[in-house]
């Protein structure tokens, strides 16, 4: 099937969904500090290491020069405090939701309130991620954005895998 055969509305919707998926993946991957944290490493050390890794990815994999990589890094850093706050609220809302379910009560208002709090937290995090991606999108070409999303997504997957691995077990080489 050729592109001419596909209605433009369908193509636009598919691209919009792909962009949203990639945006969520990129922003989620930018929150690697919690996943990459060593048991004994202080949070500031982990944060600095993640920033260095992100800068290296922007330069080496995405192909940005030093100035543009630093500019994009600063944009991403500018959202850190707000993102951490939104993620903290999301975790608290999830815990509250789980507690309501575990209680197995009959209070429908308690269920509704917990669900609404969780949905509000999710919505706030998605809106923040969209704003962050829009800000980064002003500095990067679509190709650079896609490359950044894919590369950071792979790094996030590796960090999650490493976080799940028992401490005494060595990392597998690929």
- State the pLDDT at residue 162: 79
State residue 173's pLDDT score: 58
Region of poorest pLDDT, from 35-44, 105-114, 153-162: 35-44
What pLDDT is recorded for position 34?
Answer: 46
Q: Is the pLDDT of residue 135 over 80?
A: yes
Q: Residues 131, 136, 138, 141: is their CA dihedral positive or negative?
A: negative
Per domain, the residue ranges of the chain are 3-164
Q: Residue 124 has what pLDDT?
A: 95
36: confidence class by pLDDT, cuts 50, 70, 90: very low
Instruction: Tell me the whole-structure pTM to 2 decimals.
Output: 0.62
For residue 121, what are its two tokens? Answer: 């937290």
DSSP string covering 81-131, please? HHHHHHHHHHHHHHHHHHHHHHHT---HHHHHHHHHHHHHHHHHHHHHHHH
CA distance 84 to 87: 5
For residue 10, pLDDT beyond 70: no
């Amino acid at each position: 099937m050729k592109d001419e055969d596909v209605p433009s509305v369908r193509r636009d919707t598919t691209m919009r969904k792909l962009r949203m998926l990639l945006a969520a993946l990129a922003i989620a991957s930018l929150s690697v500090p919690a996943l990459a944290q060593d048991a004994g490493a202080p949070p500031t050390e982990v944060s600095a290491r993640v920033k260095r890794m992100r800068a290296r990815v922007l330069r080496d994999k995405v192909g940005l020069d030093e100035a543009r990589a630093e500019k994009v890094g600063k944009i991403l850093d500018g959202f850190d405090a707000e993102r951490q706050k939104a993620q903290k609220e999301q975790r608290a809302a999830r815990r509250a939701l789980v507690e309501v379910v575990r209680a197995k009560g009959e209070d429908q208002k308690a269920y509704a309130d917990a669900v609404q709090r969780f949905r509000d937290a999710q919505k706030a995090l998605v809106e923040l991620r969209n704003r962050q991606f829009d800000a980064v999108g002003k500095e990067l070409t679509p190709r650079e954005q896609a490359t950044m999303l894919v590369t950071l997504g792979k790094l996030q997957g590796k960090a999650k895998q490493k976080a799940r691995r028992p401490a005494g077990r060595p990392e597998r080489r690929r």
